[in-house]
Amino acid sequence: MTEAPLLRVRNLRVTYPGEQGDVHAVRDVSFSLGRERLGIVGESGSGKSTTGRAIMGLVPPPGRISADELRLGETDLRGLSERGFREIRGRRVAMVLQDPKYALNPVMRVGRQIAETHRMHVGGGTRAARLAALTMLEAVNIRDPERVYRLYPHEVSGGMGQRVMIAMMLIAKPEVLIADEPTSALDATVQTQVLAVLDDLVRGRGMGLILISHNLHLVSAFCDRVLVMYAGRVVETCAAGRLHEATHPYTRGLLAALPTLEHRRAVLPQLRRDPAWAGE
């Protein structure tokens, strides 16, 4: 990785004020992202989604963000105005959400939702946007774009919905894509197809991808590098291929809990958690 990273995050903290004291959802997370596929794994509630949203400037109020560095290319994202973020979202960094059933507007045709992103960022009017959307639908492997363009979200299957979602997020050619559990809501048979589409586009365009998942298998198979998060902290960073060499007890616990084909277990091992890992 000789060129400058696309995204640089140093000591990112996100805090939600709450009734019983503040919730520190993300604590001192640091990483940088080049033209690569970076996985973030961790159990539910460990702060993965919040990390992704903080980069997009979409942490819901009253959540507070702070960071020593939060830089997208040359742009400093800290204290960026809502206007500034609007120009970045979709255009330079985009986000694919978990379940297309909920993440697409149910009363708008899917084609229009894709074209809308194009009109917003590329301009060129309705016709150009329509053409671009059709091309994009083809790019995500949809066979009959003209027909799908006119469908409503409830009329498409989960796998197709997720490909529509990818099209909607990538049509304005962002440099970075955050995919937050993009296949967790899909049938196992469709998951690989959606991942393949994602992989294709990300590699083809030389983008940076952050793949968020609770599934260590999937992340280690798909990504170049993996961050392991626990209780808002990154507890381990390693290359996907060397995950078996991981040293942190939490990561080891996650690995041990993975079911394998070779030996079935009578008792699933209990995942060991230690409050000290979150501390310091």
Partner 1 sequence: MAGPTIGGGRIPGWGIVRRVLRTLGSVTLTFLGLTVVTFFIGRVIPIDPVLAIVGPKASNETYDRVRAEIGLDLPLPVQYWRYLLKVLHGDFGTSVITSQPVLRDMLDVFPATLELAVLALLIGVVLGVPLGVVAATHRGRWQDHLIRLLSLFGYSTPVFWLGLIGLLLFYAKLGWVAGPGRIDVGYDDMVPTVTGLLTVDALLDGNSEVFVNALRHLVLPASILGYLSLAYVARMTRSFMLGQLRQEYVLAALAKGLSHGRVVWVHALGNVWVQLITVIALTFGSLLEGAVLTETVFSWPGLGLYMKNSLFNADLNAVLGGTMLVGVVYIGLNLISDLIYPLVDPRVRGQRR
Ligand X SMILES: Nc1ncnc2c1ncn2[C@@H]1O[C@H](COP(=O)(O)OP(=O)(O)O)[C@@H](O)[C@H]1O
* Residues near partner 1 (CB under 8 A): 56, 58, 82, 86-91, 94-95, 97-99, 102-108, 116-117, 120-121, 148, 151-152, 154-157, 159-160, 165, 168-169, 172, 190, 193
DSSP annotation string for 36-65 = SEEEEE--TTSSHHHHHHHHHT-PPTT-EE
What is the pairing mode between strands 75-76 and 93-96?
Answer: unpaired
Residue closer to partner 1 (CB basis): 19 or 82 = 82
The continuous run of DSSP H or E covering 125 comes out as helix 125-139
Name the 3-class secondary structure at 87. Answer: helix
139 and 168 in contact (C-beta within 8 Å)? no
* CA dist., res. 206 & res. 201, Å (int): 8
CB of 42 to ligand X, least distance (A): 6
Q: Is 45 in the site for ligand X (CB under 6 A)?
A: yes
> Which of 46, 49, 183, 213 is close enough to bind Mg ion by CB under 5 A?
49
Q: Is 153 in the site for ligand X (CB under 6 A)?
A: no
29 and 234 in contact (C-beta within 8 Å)? yes
> Which of 13, 23, 80, 130 is close enough to bind ligand X by CB under 6 A?
23
**Opening angle at CA 67, ends 219 and 174, nearest 5:** 55
Q: Is 278 in the site for ligand X (CB under 6 A)?
A: no
Residues facing 123 on adjacent strands: none
The continuous run of DSSP H or E covering 28 comes out as strand 23-33
Measured from the Cβ of residue 147, the count of other Cβ atoms closer than 10 Å reads 11
Name the 3-class secondary structure at 174. Answer: coil
47 binds, among partner 1, ligand X, Mg ion, none (CB under 5 to 8 A by kind): ligand X
Q: Which stretch binds ligand X (CB under 6 A): 40-48, 122-130, 215-223, 270-278?
A: 40-48
25 binds, among ligand X, partner 1, Mg ion, none (CB under 5 to 8 A by kind): ligand X
CB of 59 to partner 1, least distance (A): 11
> Which of 16, 30, 184, 248 is close enough to bind ligand X by CB under 6 A?
16
Residue closer to ligand X (CB basis): 24 or 86 = 24
Residue closer to ligand X (CB basis): 23 or 120 = 23
Half-sphere exposure of 37 (CA within 13 A, CB side): 23
CB of 148 to Mg ion, least distance (A): 28
Q: Give me the residues that bind ligand X (CB under 6 A), please.
A: 16, 23, 25, 42, 44-50, 60, 63
